[in-house]
Structure 1
Amino acid sequence: MAYDQHLADRIAQELQAQGINAEAKRLMGGLCFVLNEKMCVGTSIDKASNKPKLIARIGARAVDTALADKNCLPFQPAGRVMRDFISVLDEGIDSDEGLSHWIRLSVDFNHKLDEKKT
């Protein structure tokens, strides 16, 4: 399970800045942050570039839009596309604003999942 500790720390700091209390767990080949018992956002190493990437669970509709961004790819662990998830390459999260954007989308989608339960 490979991930970049610096990116993991940045994710944790951003979640805290947004007032989100998420639990860090080793999942999906990296480190994920779980919110409301669901994977929200995480990090692993991109096999093609060997650089850190963000794994963001933003929902299928948002994924369709996000794929227009040159720094976004479908999330494909073990070659299978996971429809609610996106991989954001290093260049898309190198700024605090970029990282914050993807985390905010992930947290918003996580809250929508909780609304569906009630």
Structure 2
Amino acid sequence: MSKEEKDKVDIKGIATVFNNVMFGMALIYDYGYFISHKLKKPTIENISFFGAILIGIPKAVENNFVVPMEMSGKTMKGYIFVTEEGHKSNKDLSYWIQLCLDFNPFAKSSKKK
């Protein structure tokens, strides 16, 4: 990335957005977790998890490092592509890996062929 391109990117702003998005997503999920256990209704926890993702991911995609995933010119629904700039540091890569691992227990498995 050239110096001019780097100067155009507001790293502090992007970090603030991610911080706020992740905090908001964590709050939504935590409230759902505690309410589901209080009411003994585990589906509330799942709803809060997916609600947090539905609210948080569009905000995260607003940054310059995440774009909708495309294959053969078609946008793949439910997938994102993190550009090289978005996972250059170990901390950034760890963030995306952890996000995937957190989601994995809720993902539906593929049908066997």
Q: Do the two structures share a fold, i.e. TM-score over 0.5?
A: no
Tell me which protein shows more helix as a share of its residues: 2
TM-score, scaled to structure 2: 0.43
Question: If you compute each CA radius of gyration, which structure gives the higher value, 1 or 2?
Answer: 2
The structure whose residues are more often strand, as a share, is 1
